[in-house]
Amino acid sequence: MSLVNEKPAKTIDVKGQVCPYPLIETRNALKALKRNEILEVVTDSEPSVVETIPMLCEKKKYPCEHVEETGFWRVYIKKTDD
């Protein structure tokens, strides 16, 4: 099942913030989630979507998907550890 179709436990809006702030906010929000919960990150920072957030997810082995909308992206991350 796609992460996009799952209901997020938390949504953070980091539009208007530039690196590294979207990554910092994402990392902090993930810390507060329980195992298997979904975080939705709303951002207009393309480097965050294509580089920094996916690199964090790869390092942590968290599934990550994004959807592009008009002028911003929604990034969905599943926390798979405690």
Q: Which CATH superfamily is domain 12-78 in?
A: TusA-like domain (3.30.110.40)
What is the pLDDT at residue 63? 97
Contacts (Cβ under 8 Å, ≥6 apart) of 67: 4, 73, 74, 76
What is the pLDDT at residue 35? 97
What is the pLDDT at residue 80? 96
What is the pLDDT at residue 82? 74
Of 19, 33, 56, 67, catalytic: 19
Count Cβ atoms below 10 Å from residue 47 Cβ, excluding itself.
Answer: 14
Confidence (pTM): 0.95
Query: Is-catalytic flag, 57?
Result: no
What residue ranges of the chain have pLDDT lower than 70? 1
What is the pLDDT at residue 72? 97
What is the pLDDT at residue 1? 67
